[in-house]
């Protein structure tokens, strides 16, 4: 079928999940770094893959395909047993309209909007925070409420759902540290789950998230300058920036 081609932007949470999955499982691929790939993905989103005649977008569909199409992938990533697989599908369906909706919109409207050429939107941030906190509570009380399996749906090893959703929450790294702590610290199971997934997928987890840590450092420097001068650097940004 030829070598797998993967179109990614590492600032994209779903892109990072797919990249880490491939690295952990030894899948050979060519990474093509883009912002938007119109010719590969008609919806203008990343990640997208090309594998032989297949062109595929949507990270959950990509993860399921990779776990099924390549040999040697451990069963825990996308179990063959139907009831376990159904639970993984269920939590991934829940993810899109809940955790992802809350996390991505909160980060954009409180922090990243100026880098995207947009204005910060406190009203939208308040609404996004409600969704985010509700999603974290559901994770804590339902999806992680097993017999200490350590991962979603009481599994003892990570699935594609764990990887996808932990990468989502890693985007909160770019927030002011006090704000990030305020949001996450009440959810002890969630915090442990993030660490479990990080440990299970290192060193690839840290390598793929390096771009996020660099952005975090730059934003911290900007906040420090703002505190010293009383001016907001984002107000001087004339257009989209790559932070």
CATH number of 4-77: 3.40.30.10
Per-residue pLDDT tens digits for 7-23: 999 999 999 999 999 99
**Element (DSSP H or E) covering residue 57:** strand 54-57
CA distance 239 to 98: 30
What are 101's two structure tokens? 């909706």
* Fold agreement between 4-77 and 82-236: no
- 29 φ, ψ to 5°? -155, 160
Identify the band that residue 231 occupies on the pLDDT scale cut at 50, 70 and 90: low
The ranges assigned to domains in the chain are 4-77, 82-236
- Burial class for 242, CB neighbours closer than 10 Å (0-12, 13-18, 19+): exposed
> According to CATH, what is the number of the domain 82-236?
1.20.1050.10
Per-residue model confidence as pLDDT tens digits over 28-69 = 999 999 864 344 444 457 899 999 999 999 999 999 999 999
- On the question of a cis peptide bond just before residue 203, with omega within 30 degrees of 0, the verdict is yes
pLDDT digits (tens, 9 = 90+) for 158-199: 999 999 999 999 999 999 999 999 999 999 999 999 999 999
C-beta separation of 146 from 153 below 8 A? yes
Q: Lowest mean pLDDT: which of 25-29, 87-91, 131-135, 149-153? A: 149-153
Token pair 């691929």 in the structure block, residue: 29
């Amino acid at each position: 079928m030829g070598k797998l081609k993967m179109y990614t932007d590492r600032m994209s949470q779903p892109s990072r999940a797919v990249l880490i999955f491939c690295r952990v499982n030894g899948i050979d691929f060519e990474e093509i770094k883009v912002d938007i790939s119109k010719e590969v993905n008609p919806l203008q989103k990343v990640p997208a893959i090309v594998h032989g005649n297949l062109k595929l977008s949507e990270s959950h569909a990509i993860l399921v395909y990779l776990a099924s199409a390549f040999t040697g992938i451990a069963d825990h990533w996308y179990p063959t047993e139907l009831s376990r697989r159904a639970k993984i599908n269920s939590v991934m369906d829940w993810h899109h309209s809940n955790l992802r909706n809350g996390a991505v919109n909160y980060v954009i409207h409180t922090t990243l909007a100026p880098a995207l050429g947009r204005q910060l939107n406190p009203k939208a941030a308040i609404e996004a925070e409600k969704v985010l906190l509700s999603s974290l509570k559901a994770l804590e009380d339902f999806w992680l409420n097993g017999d200490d399996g350590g991962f979603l749906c009481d599994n003892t090893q990570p699935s594609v759902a764990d990887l996808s959703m932990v990468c989502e929450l890693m985007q909160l790294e770019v927030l002011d540290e006090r704000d990030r702590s305020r949001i996450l610290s009440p959810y002890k199971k969630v915090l442990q789950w993030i660490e479990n997934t990080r440990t299970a997928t290192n060193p690839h987890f840290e390598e793929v998230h390096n771009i996020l840590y660099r952005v975090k450092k730059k934003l911290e420097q900007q906040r420090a300058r703002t505190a010293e001068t009383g001016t907001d650097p984002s107000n001087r940004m004339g257009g989209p920036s790559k932070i």
